[in-house]
């Protein structure tokens, strides 16, 4: 491929959703799943932002961003079941 004009929308394929990279300690886990289909790669960052209500799943809260420069959501309670 010499330049981006040689790639068309019909060239898009489902992207690969990879496993999450854990940095830090604790017993909580994050599971990724599904397909991604879009014109650019995205990397989501999920970070625990508070353990004031407790450090266990269902007590701690997190924030997340898709790399746009701001947090898309904050103070989200960690769910005990898949969402």
Mention every residue, 6+ apart, whose C-beta is less than 8 A from residue 36. 14, 15, 16, 17, 42
Mention every residue, 6+ apart, whose C-beta is less than 8 A from residue 25. none
20-29, 39-48, 74-83: segment of lowest average pLDDT:
20-29
Whether the Cβ atoms of residue 76 and residue 61 lie closer than 8 Å to each other: yes
What are the residue boundaries of the structural domains of the chain, listed by start? Answer: 14-83
Structure tokens at 26: 């604790």
Report pLDDT digits (tens) over 50-78. 889 888 888 889 999 988 889 999 999 98
Report pLDDT digits (tens) over 9-36. 665 567 777 788 888 777 777 788 777 7
């Amino acid at each position: 491929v010499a330049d981006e004009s040689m790639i068309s929308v019909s060239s898009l394929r489902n992207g690969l959703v990879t496993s999450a990279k854990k940095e830090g300690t604790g017993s909580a886990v994050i599971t990724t799943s599904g397909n991604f289909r879009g014109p650019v790669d995205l990397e989501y960052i999920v970070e625990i932002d508070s353990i004031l209500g407790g450090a266990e799943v269902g007590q701690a809260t997190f924030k997340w961003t898709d790399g746009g420069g701001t947090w898309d959501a904050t103070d989200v309670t960690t769910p005990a079941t898949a969402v």
